[in-house]
Every structure is written in C-alpha cells, then in structure tokens.
Structure 1
Amino acid sequence: MKIIICDDDVVRRQRLVGFLSSIDKTSSFKVHEVSTTDEVSKLLSDQYFDALVLDVVVPKRSDDTPSAHNGSRLLNQICNGRKLRKPERIIALTAYLEDIQQYRSAFADFGVAVVEARTQQPDWENAVLDSLAYTAESQVARARLPLLNVISVHGIRTYGGWQHKLQALVTESAGHVEFHHHKYGYFSALSFLLPTSRDVEVNRLIAHLSGVFNKDREKKFIIFAHSFGTFLVANALEELYRQGYRNVHRIVLSGSVLRSNYDWRFLNGCGVEIINDCAQNDLVLWVSEAVVLKTGMAGKVGFYGIQNPSITNRFQLGGHSVYFYGLTFMREFWIPLLDPSVPVAQFDKRNEPGVIHHFVEGIISFIGKIKPYLYASGVLWVLYRMGLFSLAK
C-alpha cells in the first residue's frame, strides 16, 4: 500500500512512520514523507497513492505559515479537480478538533476520516491504522472481482512490441488474464493512405473479434489500441455492436488517428468506457489530420463535440509512442483499468503551447476540414489533364 504522510510536525510524523514500520512485518507499506501541501500535489500529479494521511493545519510551502485553509484547499483540489489522483483513503490529523470546526462539514463532504492526534496523546496511531486496514481489506475484496480480459491492436510501421510488454506486466501484477493480440504485420504508410487497404484490415479485425466474442457472450473485455489500431477498433466495433455484440467494457486508445469529432453514439447505453490517452507533442497526428482521409488527431487534441458521457480524454507531454518508453505509463495508468471497479484516473499534464504551435495546428485543422474537397479537386484535375472530360464552357 502506497501512503503519503504530510505533517510539518516532525516528531508526530516520525512517530507514525515508526509505528507503521513496527507492525508492517511484510513491508507492504510504502511511505512517502512530506511536510507541505505543494509536495502532496506534486506526488499526486505524478502517481497514484492508496492513502493520504494529512495534517490539517499545514503550510502550503516550506516558508509558509501552517493553516487549516491549506489542508481544506488541497482536499478540494483532490476531490473536485482533474489533475490530482484521488487516494482511496484520506485521513486528516489535527492536534485539537476545535481548531478545524469551520472545515468539519467540508471534510465530511470529502469523505475524510478525522483523527485527533496530539504528540503526547497515546494510541492515536491505532485510529490511523484502523482506517488503513479498512482500505487494505477493500482492495483485497475488490481484487476478487473478475478482471477484464484483454484485446490489443497495434499501429502501422510496427510489429506491436508493446503488446507483449503489456501482457508481461499484467501477468506480473494480476496473474492470469486472457489475452488476444491482433496482428496484421508491418502496415506501411502508403497502405494507411488507401481506404481500400484500411477496409481490408477492418474486416479482418471484425472476423477476429466476432470469433473471440462468440466463445463466451458473457465474457467482458478491455481493448488497448495504438495509432492506426484505434481506427481499426472503432470501425470494427461499430459493425459488431450493430450485430448485437456487447462484450467490451473499456476501450483504451493511445496516439489515436480518429477524428476529434468521431461519433461514438453507437455505444450509447452499452456501458462502455472510452479512455483516450493523448500526447501534446504527437506531431505524427498532424500528418493524419492533414493528409489521410477519414482520420484525424484525436490522440493529440482529444475528442470533443456531442459525445458519449463515458469518454475520458487524458493528456500528457511526449510524442506518438511516449506510452511505451519504459513500462511506467502502462503500469500506472493501464494495469489498474483491468479491474472494472477501479475508476478511471484523470489527468492533464499539458503545458501551454507556444504561438507557432497554435498557429501550425490551426492551419492543420483547417486543412483537415477541407481535405476531401482537395482530393476531389485533384482527381478532377488529373482526369481533365488526361482528356477524359472537358470543362463546360
């Protein structure tokens, strides 16, 4: 269990850490010690923690005066914001309960357990331990739920090495999970440009998935797809759901070449969650948006417009394959999604892009809107030059 202990009272903090260490015979507690709310925000923006033990009257920065307002503001950011990952359990420490009377209702709204913990008071650590034990028991119970089985689809100009890395990670952390990797060999950029080549691969995926789903109509799956694989998955599922298949619980897209206004309404009422992982500097998708018919750059700017309410756009820095540099991203953000009871972690790590980036992306977006007409004009011009028809005078 990963725990943050935020307390600027060093004696009390070390007392709690020492207590947890003394009863943790299996080294299951991984404790991070901090003394300010800014440090907590930094940790929760980077990774998930199971529990947060927070001194209510705490400084925002190391040179600030401790205040209950800082603790209350942090809790509001955790519970109502989108950039910090909410721990499953939050425990508030205070030396005197009367000091936080004006914040008690807010803490109750956030589902925070409040523990009166004076440095000289005995046994308050046991109250903290009881809350942590409740969290551990709920995790064990949740882990007994059946995990989702996995389907993965890779992108173009690759053989999908990440698919097997993902399977190894799942096996390591969750045990046996049924895997189905859809492979179509090395798909060239030229083939990606041709609608007929793409249609062939969509039909192959439809056949593959219908075979998998027909084995057990009650079995639930999570689909991971990258790049061109997201195009295949979306178009294949549209046909399969039209045929009555309802086997998919979650769809995880990364580096998606789908249009940002892609119409997911065919999944309305099916209980399917769509997680769209985007990279701010995925410039490969500018080519998809500007050049390739029926594709776009949803893996860079997200989905927008009238959408299925179960769509989550998540943004981070990096390029087209940043999700597979090492194992950190898949381990932190994809593995937990196999448990259908775990809520989808939300985050937005984008920086404000520069003026040039905004300008170029605006031009690319405009070209993407008119590219069908550009292609049609090009075809007409070629036919005219070949003398196959003459323009009316």
Structure 2
Amino acid sequence: MNFLTPTYIIGLTQYPALLEKYAEKFRSIDFNIFDYYNDDWAHAIKSKIEWIIASQKTHLIRQPDKDIYVLTHGIMTSGKWQDDLESKLKNKKPNIKIIKYTYPYYSAFQILFPFLHRKTIKNYERFVVNLTAQYPNATLNFISHSFGTYLTVNTLSSSDIERNASIGKIILCGSVLKSDYDMASLIEKCQPKLIVNECGIKDLPLVLCNTAVWGLGNAGRNGFYGYSPLLKNRFFDGGHSYFFTKSGFMDEYWLPFIFDDVFIECDGRKKTEANDLVQSLFSLLPHIIIPGCCIILLVLLVLNLF
C-alpha cells in the first residue's frame, strides 16, 4: 500500500487532561499537540506556515553543517568593523562562513520613534528565518553592535528559529537593550553556547539612549542584570565603539573565544561609593526626563487649547 507521510504534524485537542497524560508520547514521535482552548496553537501554526513559505521562497540549495557568523552593525555607521573582523577571521580560517548584515543608514532622530524601524526589524527576522532554511543543520553565531544587538536578541526571542537551527556563540557590544531584559528566557529558549555582553563604561550615547529613547536602554554600559552561566558581562574603560577602535581588542578577546572557546574575564569598573552614587543618578534620569517632557507637552497642549 502506497501513501504519503506528512512532513509536519500539529494536533488540537479539547481534552487537556489527556494532553497532559500523553504529552511525552506525542513528543517522542515529533507530534505537536495543543490545547484547543489555549491560543498558543494559533501562533504555532502561523509560525510554522511562515517558516515553510520562507524556506520555499529562498530557492537556495541547502548547505552542509557548518558554523556561520552573522555580523550586524548599529545605526549611523556603514559597519567598517564588519570588514575588519571578517579579514581577521578569514586570515585565521579561510573557509569560515561570514555574513555581514547591513540595513539603511539610521539617524539618531529615527531611532527615537519605534514605528520608523519596524520594517528593519521585520527584514532582519525574515533574513534569519531564510538563513535557517538554507543552512538547516548549521550553528548560527552572532556578533552585533549597538542597534544590531536589538535586532539580534529580539529576533532570537520572538521567532521560532531555534526549532530549525542551533545557536552557538553570541557577542553583543554597545548594546541598546535594557539591563533588565529577560535574557534568562532567551537562554532557556535558544540554549546558546555562551552570550558575551561587551560593555563600555564611558559609553555616553547609551546614557542618552537609556534616558530619551522609549523601549531601549544601556545594557552595553551597565551590563545585564541577573545571573546565568551562559551569560557573561565584560566591562572596559571605553566608549560606544571601543571594541573596534582599541588596537588589538579583537585579537585579544574575540579570536580566542571564537576559535578556541577561551573566554577572558575583564572588569574595568571602579567599584567605589562615589561611582555607585553617579550610577544611581544616571539610573534616575529616565524617570525624571521622560515624564518631565510629557508634562511639558501636556501643559503646552492645554495652553494651546485654551
């Protein structure tokens, strides 16, 4: 008897008790089953369909297993550091797969308004999904700077790509994410080999970002809060682009990590009471300036109306 076997199986049930009882058996045969009364099933089906469509649209030959390094720059730059790092990586390993992701030049004004960069975020998500379709058995590694860290982390957090590709090493530098971003959930979901968050303690652009830009923060200055053995903060006595302008930085800290799994600790913070006080004052700025601006705008609006 000839028949076609399904490629993907997703089931719905109105019996949650039975779902809980037989969940392990369903997982053992890669059968995804959901509670009909929980909206999770709709999201799962939508995500799976989008991934299938994206994989069919790529029209690319699927490649064998390999490490892929995705380099993503920030705003107000053409990403020269991507070329510099690519050269260093290929000098050490000529056949290493490097992808330099670029997007249109962003001004500081554009980053203030979330609706102005929705398309860039969506394009990045589509890029990563297509990448997993082309290299289904590859390990994806990410090195991202500034707004590029926002694109990378949010894509890994919100999409279902971890079902289709393994995540290796992630290097974030000058990150515009908030320090209290839920990195624990990201780590639990994607199981990366290690996330390294490079911080510049003199990163003034991130002070402004944390103060004036809704939804963004200064994890690239203060580090991520909490603890995980898969997340390491490193603190350097430099600014927003210190990691590219400091001579020998990539050779000393990144190449050993990338090629030899060697992580070198560094903490250039001055742990004094005076410094703690300064940091506390900086942390108060968003709670003062943003509400203050809103009040001023409201007063001007009222005065204009009356």
For normalisation by structure 1, the TM-score amounts to 0.56
Equivalent residue in structure 2 for 1:170, among 81, 89, 99: 89
Could you give the per-residue CA deviations for residues 138-173 of structure 1, whole angstroms, max 9, x where no partner exists?
xxxxxxxx8732101111111000001000000011
Pair 1:192 & 2:101 matched:
no
Deviation at 1:376, TM superposition (A): 4.7
Shift in CA distance, 173/242, structure 1 to aligned 2, threshold 3 Å: closer
Cα distance between partner residues in 2 of 1:207 and 1:226: 19
Equivalent residue in structure 1 for 2:285, among 367, 371, 375: 367
Give the equivalent residue in structure 2 for 1:54. Answer: none
Pair 1:349 & 2:296 matched:
no
Pair 1:253 & 2:172 matched:
yes
Equivalent residue in structure 2 for 1:270, among 186, 190, 206: 190
Pair 1:285 & 2:206 matched:
yes
Could you give the per-residue CA deviations for residues 63-97 of structure 1, whole angstroms, max 9, x where no partner exists?
xxxxxxxxxxxxxxxxxxxxxxxxxxxxxxxxxxx
Look up the SS of the partner of 1:268 in the other structure: helix
Deviation at 1:352, TM superposition (A): 4.2
Structure with larger Rg: 1
Cα distance between partner residues in 2 of 1:261 and 1:381: 32
What is the count of residue pairs matched by the alignment? 240
Q: Tell me the percent identity.
A: 28
State whether residues 316 and 350 of structure 1, in contact with CA within 8 Å, keep that contact through their aligned partners in structure 2.
yes
Look up the SS of the partner of 2:132 in the other structure: helix
Look up the SS of the partner of 2:99 in the other structure: strand
Cα distance between partner residues in 1 of 2:152 and 2:248: 24
Letter in 2 for 1:171: K
Gaps of 5+ in 2: 1-64
Structure 1 residues 53-64: aligned runs within 5 Å: none
Q: Which has the higher contact order (CA 8 A, sep 6+)?
A: 2
Shift in CA distance, 147/314, structure 1 to aligned 2, threshold 3 Å: farther
Cα distance between partner residues in 2 of 1:312 and 1:330: 17
State whether residues 158 and 185 of structure 1, in contact with CA within 8 Å, keep that contact through their aligned partners in structure 2.
no
Give the equivalent residue in structure 2 for 1:221. Answer: 140
Letter in 2 for 1:238: S
Give the equivalent residue in structure 1 for 2:302. Answer: 384
Equivalent residue in structure 1 for 2:149, among 202, 223, 230: 230
Gaps of 5+ in 1: 1-145
Equivalent residue in structure 2 for 1:157, among 76, 92, 99: 76
State whether residues 197 and 223 of structure 2, in contact with CA within 8 Å, keep that contact through their aligned partners in structure 1.
yes
Cα distance between partner residues in 1 of 2:143 and 2:164: 18
Shift in CA distance, 161/360, structure 1 to aligned 2, threshold 3 Å: same
Pair 1:316 & 2:236 matched:
yes
Cα distance between partner residues in 2 of 1:380 and 1:309: 46
Could you give the per-residue CA deviations for residues 279-312 of structure 1, whole angstroms, max 9, x where no partner exists?
121122110111111111111111113x544110
Give the equivalent residue in structure 2 for 1:75. Answer: none
Letter in 2 for 1:277: E
Pair 1:302 & 2:223 matched:
yes
State whether residues 66 and 137 of structure 2, in contact with CA within 8 Å, keep that contact through their aligned partners in structure 1.
no
For normalisation by structure 2, the TM-score amounts to 0.70
State whether residues 227 and 255 of structure 1, in contact with CA within 8 Å, keep that contact through their aligned partners in structure 2.
yes
Shift in CA distance, 384/247, structure 1 to aligned 2, threshold 3 Å: farther
Aligned-residue RMSD, C-alpha: 2.5
State whether residues 241 and 266 of structure 1, in contact with CA within 8 Å, keep that contact through their aligned partners in structure 2.
no
Deviation at 1:186, TM superposition (A): 1.7
Shift in CA distance, 263/321, structure 1 to aligned 2, threshold 3 Å: same
